Amino acid sequence: MNRQKRSITLFLIAVFCCFPLTPAAKDMRKLNIQADREKTELIQKAAQEKSEARRLAAASNAAILQDKTKLEKNIRKLQNTKRILQQENTRLSITNLNLSKEEKRITLKLTQTDQMINELVGVIRTNAKDFSALLNENHQTALRNDSPDFLEKLADEDSFPGMDTIRLLATALFDQIKQTGEVTRPTLPIIDRNGKTIVAKLLILGPFCAVYQLGNEIGFLRYSAAGNRFYALSKLPPKRMQKQLLHYMEGKSDFVPMDISRGGALQQLTHSLNFWDQIQKGGPIVWPILILFFFGLIIICERSIFLMRKRFNSERFIRYIGEALQQSNWQKCEQFCLQFPQKPVAKIINAGLQCRDLEREEMENVLQEAILREIPPMERFLSTLGMLAAIAPLLGLLGTVTGMIDTFHIITLYGTGDPKLMSGGISEALVTTMLGLSVAIPLMLAQTLLNRAVEKEIGTMEEKAVALVNIIQKNRLDSCSA
């Protein structure tokens, strides 16, 4: 209200200022009347505006109250909705928790089921691969005209095996089990040992091995699944085994040799090397080692024969000499010694009898000289045998070094991609070492034994020489006493 009065006052002042205060101006009364009229109009207008403002304010208040009521009603409604939603949320949370637990349980069960299925599928695929390999190794496969193509599809990791395929696999396995116990005698073309295709009578012993007969030649076969053909082994079995196979094929025997390892034993039979084949793989160093062994054997044989001829019963001999000396029958002793001209002990005793009149010290010197004269023939070639025993392993070591040099040279040229290229040098290195040790060990053992035999013979000569001196001295003392 004060604001309206202030507005009216300002308006009157502005109107008053607009008219000049001159005598020729309009009458002030008219101006005042006009001003009052305008004032009254302004007051009425202000009252109308005030009334309108009150009406608008009342309407606004009523609208606000109405809106407030609506808002409060909506708030209550929203609060009720919120409470309902909270209850629903709680219920859904519980349901979600239960569903999560159920999902975990089902996921775990599904994972276990997937693992079981994957394991089962893996077992089926593995069995399919093993069965395919078994068919490739089975000799009975050569007699079949059909080929189980479903095995490749079953072994494929991109495909899932169905029950029909699994039934086919089971049926094929039972058929294979049945064929395993069958012994057949077909006539089929084979590749013989010369590489020629020839028709032969076969004996197929289940999945283990196959035997062929071409006239008097009987041998084992190898089956190749790639060409669906039989190949004769390059090496025939021993004669005794061939005889057993022939008797079984002719129905004369119920026993037959077969390879239960499905080719492993036959492979070893084919690639087995005898001693001479192994020696030939040792290279040129092998021949000097064999020459050393040959000369060593000659020396061992010669020395053994020599020492065996020199040995005899020296105890009985010296006992007979002692009995003759007690009778002072020197001629009988000399004649008995001359009966063994090649025996060292007899020579030593005879030399002692020739110097029986000398003093003891001089007699011992004569006997010692006779013993020394007999030692060199007995020790002849023993040092040479020891030298050969020492040279043999050194030659083997030399062959090892040369073989390894060849191996490293091949590695330098061709690398290590193909082990067969390096097998020659390695074989030469190992064979020469083995051969050198094989020659040196028996030569060293023989030398030791021969040395022991010579030492024993020398000891026997020394012992009998001392015994002879004692017997002669005793007889001399007895003669002096008499």
In order along its 482 residues, the chain shows pLDDT tens digits of: 555 555 555 555 554 544 444 444 446 777 778 877 888 888 888 888 888 888 888 888 888 888 888 888 888 888 899 899 999 999 999 999 999 999 998 988 888 888 888 787 777 777 777 777 777 666 666 666 555 666 666 666 666 677 777 777 777 777 777 767 777 788 888 888 777 788 888 887 777 778 888 878 888 887 776 667 787 877 777 788 888 888 888 878 877 777 766 666 666 665 555 556 666 666 788 888 889 999 999 999 998 898 888 777 777 777 777 777 777 677 777 777 777 777 888 888 777 777 777 777 888 888 888 888 888 888 888 889 999 999 999 988 888 888 788 777 777 776 666 565 565 567 777 788 888 888 999 999 999 999 998 898 888 888 888 887 787 777 777 666 65
123: number of Cβ within 10 Å: 10
164, 179, 194 - which closes a domain? 179
The b-or-e profile of 325-361 (16+ CB within 10 A means b, else e) is beeeeeeebeebbeebeebbbbbbbbbbbebbeeeee
In a domain, 102, yes or no: no
135, 159, 179 - which closes a domain? 179
If asked whether residues 298 and 443 sit together in one domain, one would say yes
Long-range contacts of 158-166 (CB under 8 A, 24+ apart): 160/121, 161/121, 161/124, 161/125, 166/124
CA distances from 128 to 131, 138, 152, 180, 383 (A): 5, 15, 8, 17, 70
CA distances from 42 to 36, 39, 252, 435, 458 (A): 9, 5, 153, 145, 172
Containing domain of residue 29, as a range?
2-92
Q: Three-state DSSP class for 348? A: helix
419: number of Cβ within 10 Å: 8
Give the separation between CA 396 and CA 206, rounded to whole angstroms.
Answer: 48
3-state helix, strand, coil in the chain (%, to 5): 75, 5, 20
In a domain, 114, yes or no: no
Residue-level pLDDT at 286: 84
If asked whether residues 133 and 244 sit together in one domain, one would say no
If asked whether residues 171 and 254 sit together in one domain, one would say no
Identity of the amino acid at 409: H
230, 248, 272 - which closes a domain? 272
In a domain, 39, yes or no: yes
If asked whether residues 78 and 220 sit together in one domain, one would say no
For 420, the token pair is: 């067969």
If asked whether residues 380 and 441 sit together in one domain, one would say yes
Give the separation between CA 422 and CA 104, rounded to whole angstroms.
Answer: 60
Residue-level pLDDT at 18: 46
In a domain, 197, yes or no: yes
Number of domains composing the chain: 4
If asked whether residues 376 and 431 sit together in one domain, one would say yes
In a domain, 34, yes or no: yes
385 class by beta-carbon count within 10 Å (0-12 exposed, 13-18 middle, 19+ buried): buried
If asked whether residues 332 and 453 sit together in one domain, one would say yes
If asked whether residues 204 and 85 sit together in one domain, one would say no
In a domain, 139, yes or no: yes
Q: Which residues on neighbouring strands pair with residue 204, listed in sequence order?
A: 184, 210
Give the separation between CA 96 and CA 92, rounded to whole angstroms.
Answer: 6
If asked whether residues 152 and 31 sit together in one domain, one would say no
Residue-level pLDDT at 23: 46
If asked whether residues 158 and 48 sit together in one domain, one would say no
In a domain, 112, yes or no: no
Give the separation between CA 296 and CA 341, rounded to whole angstroms.
Answer: 29
Residue identified by tokens 């045998």 is 385
- Supply the DSSP symbol for 214: E
In a domain, 105, yes or no: no
Give the separation between CA 383 and CA 372, rounded to whole angstroms.
Answer: 17
Nearest to 261 by CA among 132, 126, 137, 131: 137
Give the separation between CA 51 and CA 45, rounded to whole angstroms.
Answer: 10
If asked whether residues 225 and 333 sit together in one domain, one would say no
If asked whether residues 322 and 454 sit together in one domain, one would say yes
Q: Three-state DSSP class for 231? A: strand
